[in-house]
């Protein structure tokens, strides 16, 4: 029996929290939130909604998704409880909601190569395929053998990594060039030394904790950009001079100094260097659009790495 919640705030599924009363006053509402627990329930639910002539949205752990107060949806399906995996001689076959971090820790114990950089990657395995996600030189799609896709017409198609059209943090699914719901993901097994892999994973975890905040109150890398505007080049030049003057290589300290010089000190508590925004309180949600405008002045090619649902 599928668990269903009716007429609730997106706080129920949001990774980053805001002031619940304020969100509810502004009408942030999910009409029907479903929690299927296996693939049969998921497929039957999707078919039922489509039979009604209505649309739906999917969510896993929402670790890369920001829900705005204006967000409204009739049908939202959460897949995080569809989380079983099995092994064959050559493959690890995962249901769509398998937690990447948990899976990676278990696979490292067994000595399977390619998971040692993924132990701190939040979210589901399907979301990792969809977004071409990875960290510390590891990616789920580097391990991908195939994935099962439920097409909009109800047919099921076996797809391969070539079908993803992989780009940096992007796939054909994310770009809407390929449509469907990922049901299963099959990953290749490559045997390695469990002790060595565990040591690498521990080093990766230590590095992440030193240079990145933990997963709470943020959605990971929020922005990417490479092409600086003239203003951006000037700011980067000032940033380098600040590093020399204060004799530090801590990018967070230098960036905070830069923001204060630019009269943007109100951003300081909410940024973990320039490309990660921290949703610490209600004020952060108000400042986020203003911070995007500020960064657009620094980069010609600024892109949001997170998904915003309005």
**pLDDT less than 50: residues of the chain:** none
Instruction: Give the pLDDT score at 99.
Output: 97
Instruction: Give the pLDDT score at 20.
Output: 52
Instruction: Give the pLDDT score at 69.
Output: 78
Q: What's the rounded Cα separation, in Å, for the pair 159 and 16?
A: 32
The class that CATH gives domain 3-78 is alpha beta
- The 10s digit of each residue's pLDDT in 162-206 is 999 998 888 999 999 999 999 999 999 999 999 999 999 999 888
Instruction: Give the pLDDT score at 76.
Output: 97
Q: What's the rounded Cα separation, in Å, for the pair 37 and 2?
A: 7
Record: fold of 85-210: 3.30.465
Residue 87, helix vs strand vs coil: strand
Q: What's the rounded Cα separation, in Å, for the pair 252 and 274?
A: 8
Question: In the chain, what percentage of residues exceed pLDDT 90?
Answer: 70
Tokens of 42: 């998921």
Query: In the chain, where are the structural domains located?
Result: 3-78, 85-210, 214-308
**Angle of helix 251-261 versus helix 230-246 axis, rounded to 10:** 120
CATH topology match: 3-78 vs 85-210: no
Query: Among the residues of 247-281, which ranges form H helices?
Result: 251-261
Q: For residues 27 and 67, is the Cβ–Cβ distance under 8 A? A: no
Instruction: Give the pLDDT score at 14.
Output: 86
Please state the pTM of the whole predicted model.
0.89
- The 10s digit of each residue's pLDDT in 62-72 is 888 998 878 89
């Amino acid at each position: 029996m599928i668990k269903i919640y009716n007429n609730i705030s997106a706080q129920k599924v949001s990774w980053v929290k805001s002031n619940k009363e304020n969100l509810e006053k502004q009408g942030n509402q999910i009409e029907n939130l479903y929690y299927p627990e296996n693939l049969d329930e998921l497929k039957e639910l999707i078919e039922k909604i489509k039979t009604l002539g209505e649309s739906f949205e999917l969510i896993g752990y929402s670790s890369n998704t920001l829900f705005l107060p204006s967000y409204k949806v009739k049908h939202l399906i959460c897949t995080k409880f569809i989380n079983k995996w099995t092994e064959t001689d050559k493959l690890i076959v995962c249901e769509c909601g398998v937690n990447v971090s948990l899976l990676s820790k278990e696979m490292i114990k067994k000595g399977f190569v390619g998971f040692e950089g993924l132990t701190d990657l939040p979210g589901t395995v399907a979301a990792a395929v969809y977004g071409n996600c990875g960290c510390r030189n590891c990616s789920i799609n580097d391990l991908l053998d195939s994935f099962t896709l439920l097409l909009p017409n109800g047919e099921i198609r076996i797809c391969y990594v070539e079908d993803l059209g992989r780009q940096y943090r992007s796939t054909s699914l994310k770009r809407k060039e390929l449509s469907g719901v990922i049901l299963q993901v099959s990953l290749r097994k490559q045997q390695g030394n469990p002790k060595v892999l565990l040591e690498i994973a521990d080093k990766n975890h230590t590095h992440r904790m030193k240079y990145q905040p933990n997963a709470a109150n943020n959605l990971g890398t929020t922005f990417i950009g490479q092409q600086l505007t003239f203003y951006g080049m000037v700011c980067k030049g000032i940033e380098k001079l600040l590093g020399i003057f204060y004799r530090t290589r801590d990018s967070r300290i230098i960036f905070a100094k830069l923001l204060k010089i630019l009269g943007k000190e109100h951003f300081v508590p909410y940024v973990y260097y320039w490309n990660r925004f921290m949703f610490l309180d209600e004020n952060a949600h108000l400042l986020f659009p203003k911070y995007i405008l500020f960064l657009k002045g620094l980069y010609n090619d600024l892109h949001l790495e997170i998904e915003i649902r309005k």
